[in-house]
Amino acid sequence: MIWNLEAECMPPEQRRRLQLAHLKNLVERVYEKVPFYRKKFQQAGITPKDIRSLEDIQKIPFTTKDDLRETYPYGLLAVPEAEIEEVHMSSGTTGIPVVDAYTKKDIEVWSEAMARTLSMAGATRNDIIQNAYGYGLFTGGLGVHYGAKLIGANIIPMSSGNTSKQILVMRDFKTTILTCTPSYSLFLAEAAREEGIDIRSLSLKAGCFGAEPWSENMRKEIEEKLGLEAYDIYGLTEITGPGVSSECEMKNGLHINEDFFYPEVIDPETGKVLPDGAKGELVFTTLVKEGTPLLRYRTRDITFLFHDECPCGRTTVKMHRIFGRTDDMLIIRGVNVFPSQIEQILMAVEGTDPHYLIVVDRGASHL
């Protein structure tokens, strides 16, 4: 199901004109209201007037997670604090949170993006969506919640954990769509089996899984053990949360909501923009974000972009499922190896669980 025909099936050239209009507005706004970005522009020797085409975005310096930490809490805020209606954040190894602040419009955009995501998995107002993503500062729970409310579906806000009750609710309320991390879905299936419940016999028809990398073999295992169609969804707190991109029924790449997020893929070493089909680091610009907009944010996620005529009818660019992260990549005898590639092989072995430790022995001839 396509939630927004006009936006998702827009002719590509029309979408590019829309993106350019959004981009010009964005750079004018952050240059005026965010000292951090004004300084970035000045150091690069550019002004908003230098951004005349989408290609000109390459003149703009990147934004990194370190920038977000150094400007904590509100150094990237582009609106008065009184206009902020919600704040989410994530913390890394440094303990300094990465903050994303939302205005009323930002939450409306997020809701729209997630309505598209859930619709790609077949969700309608007649569905019962059991949301087992965590609520709170993590974006997963509320992102799904807002999208489900916009669709008009029945949303069960389970949050994460409490596995026995998850299974009870799934059975008694006849959940049709499950949203959680892919690894937790397998844990639910195993817990149900131990309780003597065949989860495949319940009412589940689809699952939207994200917040961690997962392989095609893991997808097959989830679909087999839960008796549903498993869809990959992508997002990150810094950009807006879930809803940045999602799989349609073809499961051949994730459609990016290009009217909200402008994607690029770069060489992580040189910063050079790569063509379609070339694997590199994913970069996003939040075209319509009001609270904490980001220009050319380096996600550290590895993928590639591609355009094709998707049978689903959507005309948006697609990204391949995430291979891994730049900081997870192993270089073994000159070959780039990602944990997801190792998982793909491990999960092909019958009886293997998606839990493993990778040890690289530099003095040996094997992993």
Residue 365 clears pLDDT 50, i.e. is over it: no
Q: Nearest-5° angle of CA 109, CA 128, CA 102?
A: 20
pLDDT at 354: 61
Q: Residue 311: phi, psi to the nearest 5?
A: -60, -20
Q: How many CB atoms lie within 10 A of CB 29?
A: 17
Q: What is the pLDDT of residues 5-30, one digit of tens each?
A: 999 999 999 999 999 999 999 999 99
Domain boundaries, the chain: 5-327
Supply 103's token pair. 């205005």
Give the confidence band of 367 by pLDDT, cuts at 50, 70, 90. Answer: very low
The whole-angstrom separation of Cα 215 and Cα 221 is 10
**Stretch 122-149: mean pLDDT:** 98
pLDDT at 344: 60
The whole-angstrom separation of Cα 305 and Cα 200 is 35
**Stretch 121-129: mean pLDDT:** 99
**Stretch 50-59: mean pLDDT:** 99
**Stretch 254-267: mean pLDDT:** 99
pLDDT at 347: 61
pLDDT at 290: 99
Give the confidence band of 39 by pLDDT, cuts at 50, 70, 90. Answer: very high
User: Could you identify the residue written with the tokens 């590895």?
Assistant: 302
Amino acid at 338: F
Q: Which CATH number fits domain 5-327: 3.30.420.250, 3.90.1580.10, 3.40.50.12780, 3.40.50.720?
A: 3.40.50.12780
Q: What is the pLDDT of residues 322-362, one digit of tens each?
A: 999 887 655 443 445 656 557 667 766 776 766 667 776 65
The percent of the chain in helix, strand and coil, each rounded to the nearest 5, is 35, 20, 45
Give the confidence band of 62 by pLDDT, cuts at 50, 70, 90. Answer: very high
**Stretch 209-224: mean pLDDT:** 96
pLDDT at 331: 47
Give the confidence band of 148 by pLDDT, cuts at 50, 70, 90. Answer: very high
pLDDT at 93: 59
Element at 38 (helix H, strand E)? helix 35-44
User: Could you identify the residue written with the tokens 């909200």?
Assistant: 260
Distances (CA, A) of 352 to 17, 221, 356: 49, 10, 9
| R_g of the chain, CA atoms, integer Å | 21
- Contacts of 193 by beta carbon, 8 Å cutoff, 6+ apart: 199
Q: What is the pLDDT of residues 194-215, one digit of tens each?
A: 999 999 999 999 999 999 999 9
Q: What is the pLDDT of residues 284-337, one digit of tens each?
A: 999 999 999 999 999 999 999 999 999 999 999 999 999 998 876 554 434 456
Q: What is the pLDDT of residues 74-117, one digit of tens each?
A: 999 999 999 999 999 986 656 899 999 999 999 999 999 999 99
The whole-angstrom separation of Cα 90 and Cα 83 is 21
Phi/psi class of residue 34: alpha, beta or left (left: φ > 0; alpha: ψ in -120 to 50)?
beta
DSSP letter string over 285-344? EESS-SSS--SSEEEEEEE-EE----TT---S-EEPPP-EETTT-EEETTEEE-HHHHHH
Burial letters 263-292, b for 16+ CB under 10 A, else e: bbbbebeeeeebeeeeebbbbbbbbebbbb
Q: What is the pLDDT of residues 234-258, one digit of tens each?
A: 999 999 999 999 999 999 999 999 9
Residue 151 clears pLDDT 80, i.e. is over it: yes
Q: Residue 36: phi, psi to the nearest 5?
A: -55, -45
